[in-house]
Amino acid sequence: MSIFSLLPELWLLGLVCALFVASISDKKQSVASWLPMAAGLGVLAALFALGERGEFLYAAYKLDGLSQFFKLVIAFGFAVVTGIAAGNKEGKDLTPDYFMLLALSAWGLMLLASCVELITLYLALELSSYSLYALIPLRGKDRRAAEAGIKYILFGAAVTALALFGLSYIIAAKHTTYLSGLAATSWSFADAPMAVIGLTLFLAGFFYKLALFPFHFWCPDVYQGAKNETAAYVATIPKLGAVVVLVRLAAFVAPHLEVTTILAILGAVSMTAGNLAALVQRDLKRLLGFSSVAHAGYVMLGLAAGSAAGMSAAAFYSLAYILMNLAAFYVVCAIAKNDENPSLDDLDGLYKRAPALAMILAVAAFSLVGLPPTAGFAGKLFLLSAAWDQGYHWLVIVAVLNTAISIYYYLGLVRHAYTGESDAPAIVWPRGYLIFGGALAVLVLLLGILPAPMYDLAAQAAGQLHP
């Protein structure tokens, strides 16, 4: 248990400092040349630290299987987002400041994965959120980005204030903020009404980051208004932070308690609201925003199940989710001209204009639906079986119906790309960038065909919480 146990966080902190120095220096050199490589090294650091265990800082910061798994996924997601952003050569807004805020947000999420005490959790959440508040309006002189920023900040500030209020109720009722202490007590409404109310309010802060109904209203507007690369980040990595905290908190509520029933109901409504609203969208990022709301509902299946299988399914699904979403946003960023928002009509004729991008989009769309042999199918399989085994039959039926509804708009992307006709010119990208996107699609397929290694990692991680 040396300083090298903290290697992933320290490497990312080093990246933040390097980007800070680059942002205040006079040389206007783009960081895109070295940043994706450095972020890739961060993924290696997280791989080496996968087996580290220990406790730091008065047992408020703990390295266990779950935290190291999520740090690896966060490092990977950050590396992919920097890769996507680095490909955008004309991006005037992709300054070192932009990447510094991205890295700071990712660093806050890594810290969030390891916090096992409520106040430290809240601090890490705020660290990652503030960087995002500054990041979302960064889009040239675009009014839509300013509007998206205001929405995100106002809703976010209100919800985190509610979360802090709930935290105060938990402290008052349970007299401890350490998750280990809280797990040992009873969480039924009859035994601890104030604590259950407090926990529901505290969870609201994380439901906001996950874009779960009814805290999802920011999601489509922010994705649509922010820069494409920012939307790629916001759509994926903060959800990981929310899921890891929800896995830790859901580990100490048993199935069919009031809190778990609330989780299940919110998940069902979120799935339905997200899928139904996505059916009529034309703007690609807005469509993916509503799809994020629906996927937040699917993750709730695993969390409401509450068993070790449910937790591992939720952790595995968050990995699959960021992979397929990153592949989808990669295509969105690649087909966008001058940083504009691509719409469904911009996808027309993609099979002729950029066959590689059309293929990657097809893999991402099939995975988002949950069709085999993609990662989305494996994730949904684990989630549905975990929820069914715990007796949530109605929830599984709602999830399956929602998957059927979502086929329309996800495969609508493929329909536009492969059967739409357009006279627009071919989209040219350097080979390396297309290979990068292809690697993302291959990973989505690989995770679907061979889910066992990553699922075992997630199961081992969640099993320690919920033996």
User: In the bound complex, what is the minimum distance in angstroms from residue 24's beta carbon to other proteins?
Assistant: 4
Closest CB to other proteins among residues 23, 200: 23
**Under 8 Å CB-to-CB from 27, ≥6 apart: which residues?**
none
User: In the bound complex, what is the minimum distance in angstroms from residue 166's beta carbon to other proteins?
Assistant: 22
User: In the bound complex, what is the minimum distance in angstroms from residue 23's beta carbon to other proteins?
Assistant: 7
User: In the bound complex, what is the minimum distance in angstroms from residue 181's beta carbon to other proteins?
Assistant: 22
Closest CB to other proteins among residues 52, 97: 97
Closest CB to other proteins among residues 30, 385: 30
User: In the bound complex, what is the minimum distance in angstroms from residue 197's beta carbon to other proteins?
Assistant: 28
Q: Which stretch binds other proteins (CB under 8 A): 19-27, 43-51, 76-84, 383-391?
A: 19-27
Closest CB to other proteins among residues 3, 24: 24
Q: How far apart are CA 348 and CA 346, in angstroms?
A: 5
Name 62's bridge partners: 55
Asked whether the beta carbons of 348 and 420 are under 8 A apart, the reply is yes
Closest CB to other proteins among residues 12, 364: 12
**Under 8 Å CB-to-CB from 438, ≥6 apart: which residues?**
356, 359, 360
Among 14, 20, 189, 373, binds other proteins (CB under 8 A): 20
Long-range CB contacts for residues 351-355, cutoff 8 Å, separation at least 24: 351/417, 351/418, 352/426, 353/422, 353/424, 353/425, 353/426, 353/427, 354/426, 354/427, 354/429
Tell me how far the alpha carbon of residue 429 is from its chain's centroid: 27
Q: How many secondary structure helices (H) and strands (E) does the chain include?
A: 19, 2
User: In the bound complex, what is the minimum distance in angstroms from residue 101's beta carbon to other proteins?
Assistant: 12
DSSP letter string, 170-211:
HHHHHS--BHHHHHTS---TTT-HHHHHHHHHHHHHHHHHHT
Per rule CB under 8 A, is residue 5 in the interface with other proteins?
no
With the CA atoms of 452, 457, 459 and 461 taken in that order, what torsion angle do they form, in degrees rounded to the nearest 10? -170
Preceding peptide of 467 cis, ω within 30°? no
Per rule CB under 8 A, is residue 24 in the interface with other proteins?
yes
Whole-angstrom distance between the N-terminal and C-terminal Cα of the chain? 24
Closest CB to other proteins among residues 19, 444: 19
Closest CB to other proteins among residues 20, 217: 20
Q: Which stretch binds other proteins (CB under 8 A): 20-28, 45-53, 316-324, 434-442?
A: 20-28
Phi first, then psi: what are they for 63, rounded to 5°?
Answer: -100, 110
Name 343's bridge partners: 283
CA proximity to 361, closest of 285, 298, 418: 418
User: In the bound complex, what is the minimum distance in angstroms from residue 113's beta carbon to other proteins?
Assistant: 21
User: In the bound complex, what is the minimum distance in angstroms from residue 449's beta carbon to other proteins?
Assistant: 46
Per rule CB under 8 A, is residue 23 in the interface with other proteins?
yes
**What H or E segment, with its residue span, contains residue 61?**
strand 61-63
Closest CB to other proteins among residues 24, 190: 24
User: In the bound complex, what is the minimum distance in angstroms from residue 58's beta carbon to other proteins?
Assistant: 13
Name 185's bridge partners: none
Total residues in contact with other proteins, by rule CB under 8 A: 3
Per rule CB under 8 A, is residue 56 in the interface with other proteins?
no
Closest CB to other proteins among residues 100, 375: 100
Name 54's bridge partners: 63
Q: Which stretch binds other proteins (CB under 8 A): 16-24, 44-52, 228-236, 243-251?
A: 16-24
Closest CB to other proteins among residues 23, 422: 23
Tell me how far the alpha carbon of residue 34 is from its chain's centroid: 25
Per rule CB under 8 A, is residue 428 in the interface with other proteins?
no
Q: Which stretch binds other proteins (CB under 8 A): 18-26, 71-79, 265-273, 401-409?
A: 18-26
User: In the bound complex, what is the minimum distance in angstroms from residue 132's beta carbon to other proteins?
Assistant: 17
Q: Applying CB under 8 A, which residues contact other proteins?
A: 20, 23-24
